[in-house]
Amino acid sequence: MPEIVFITTAGDEVRVGVPVGMSLMRGAIESGIDEIRAECGGVASCGTCKIILDEANQGKIAPASAIEGSMLEDDPSGYRLSCQIVVDAAMDGLVVRVAPAEY
Ligand code: FES
């Protein structure tokens, strides 16, 4: 099972095993990372599941879809919706930072 490293807004490192085929959002929630609120349940409409990828990790994930991109148009580079990222085996060791809440 790929291990994803979540960095919380407090700077804590949480290592989570996320099954292939599960979204990063679901993996975070099921591991108790409650900063990922995911209020829309994963349909790319709330923006409360944002994570940040540094440059080294951006190439490990497929580019955002048009729908995801429209939710991120006001965010800096590297922001993604964790509900739209489906974990695959190549993501083992991926490091993502939880984005600060916007409100
Ligand atoms: S859970 Fe709402 S946009 Fe991802």
Percent of the chain with pLDDT over 70: 99
Tell me the CA–centroid distance for residue 48 and ligand 1, in Å. Answer: 6
Q: What are the pLDDT digits (tens) for 76-97?
A: 999 999 999 999 999 999 999 9
pTM above 0.85, yes or no: yes
Residue extents of the structural domains in the chain: 3-98
Percent of the chain with pLDDT over 90: 91
Tell me the CA–centroid distance for residue 38 and ligand 1, in Å. Answer: 5
* Domain 3-98 is found in CATH 3.10.20.30: yes
- Residue from 35, 43, 86 to probe ligand 1 pocket by mutation (most atoms less than 8 Å from CB): 43
For the chain, what is the mean pLDDT? 95
Q: Which of 81, 91, 68 has its CA nearest to residue 20? A: 91
SS3 sequence of 24-46? HHHHHHHCCCCCCCCCCCCCCCC
The pLDDT, as a whole number, for residue 103 is 53
